[in-house]
Chain A
Amino acid sequence: MINDRSMETHRDDLGSTLGMWLFLLSEILLFGGLFLLYAIYRFNYSQSFHLAAESLNRPIGALNTVILLTSSLTMALSLYALKQKQSLRSLCFLLSTILLGLLFLFNKYWEWASKFEHGVYPNATRLLERERGEVLFYGLYYSMTGLHALHVLVGIGLLTAMVYFIRKGKVHHERYLPLENSGLYWHLVDIIWVFLFPLFYLIT
């Protein structure tokens, strides 16, 4: 008979890492359904997709990509610093991650808003007058970037909670798992954007 509680808590850490990865898998398939739709419609309407993509703002898209990639870097650095017992540095990196996330959302908002001004939004009469393929392109564009932006928002919420926990001393160099898991989530959201960017902005 074995009754080693310390062994159990040790295993717990691995457990929550596993649990987080499983959750990320289901996130991937949530977007997976949208990628499926995208693949089909792009195949069916490659001409219109090409045409519609031209009118997206490529520089802003590229800028946003760099912003998210950088936020991923600061996220990784924040965890690294926390593990090195430098919780202040960790906090700074964490805050920059949050700021970059907000910046991303701001750009996204601006991008959407300028499209809206041109009457390009779901169900808009001016959009519906265009080719079917273009309507579908924008349908997908709004659904996919919208869902992604929602995930960024949730990520920002998580990271803000982490700021609070680190300041309260509830998350620290020995108990860094909550930060690590929030980080995993943040990186995944980044990866999804890595695919969204070329699929919407760089169609040739």
Chain B
Amino acid sequence: MNTYIYIWVSLVMLTGLSVSTAGRNWGRWGLTLALLIAFIKSGLILNYFMHLKDQKKMKWIRWMIPGIFAILVFFIGLTFLDIALR
């Protein structure tokens, strides 16, 4: 039960961090940082709230999320091959 609360506190703090860094002008890095924070947040939600971490009987389903992410990166990356080089 306490774990849940800690996770929630970290999530809110990360949101704060994301908002406060967005005020500065960091160019490209702003987006990178924002996405990095979003990934950390979703990692927390996935592992603790959604209990992926405790999934003992079907360990392989932990790999589904990184897997799907890789697929999405391929989809977006290949589309950029067209858009960015047209």
Q: How far is the CB of B27 from chain A (nearest CB, A)?
A: 8
C-alpha gap A29/B57 in the complex (Å): 25
Q: Is the CB of A28 within 8 A of B38?
A: no
Report the count of interface residues on B (CB-CB < 8 A).
Answer: 42
Q: Is the CB of B19 within 8 A of A58?
A: yes
Asked if A171 is at the interface of the complex by the 8 Å CB criterion, the answer is no
Q: How far is the CB of B77 from chain A (nearest CB, A)?
A: 10
Report the count of interface residues on A (CB-CB < 8 A).
Answer: 41
Q: Is the CB of A69 within 8 A of B58?
A: no
Asked if A187 is at the interface of the complex by the 8 Å CB criterion, the answer is yes
22 contacts between A and B (CB under 8 A): A14-B57, A18-B58, A18-B61, A28-B68, A32-B68, A32-B72, A36-B75, A36-B76, A40-B79, A73-B5, A73-B8, A187-B50, A190-B45, A194-B41, A198-B34, A198-B37, A199-B34, A202-B18, A202-B22, A203-B31, A204-B22, A204-B23
| Residues on A facing B (Cβ under 8 Å) | 14, 17-18, 21, 25, 28-29, 32, 35-36, 39-40, 43-44, 58, 62, 65-66, 69-70, 72-73, 75-77, 80, 183-184, 187-188, 190-191, 194-195, 197-199, 201-204
| Residues on B facing A (Cβ under 8 Å) | 1, 4-5, 7-8, 11-12, 15, 18-19, 22-27, 30-31, 34-35, 37-38, 41-42, 45-46, 48-50, 57-58, 61, 64, 68, 71-72, 75-76, 79-80, 83-84
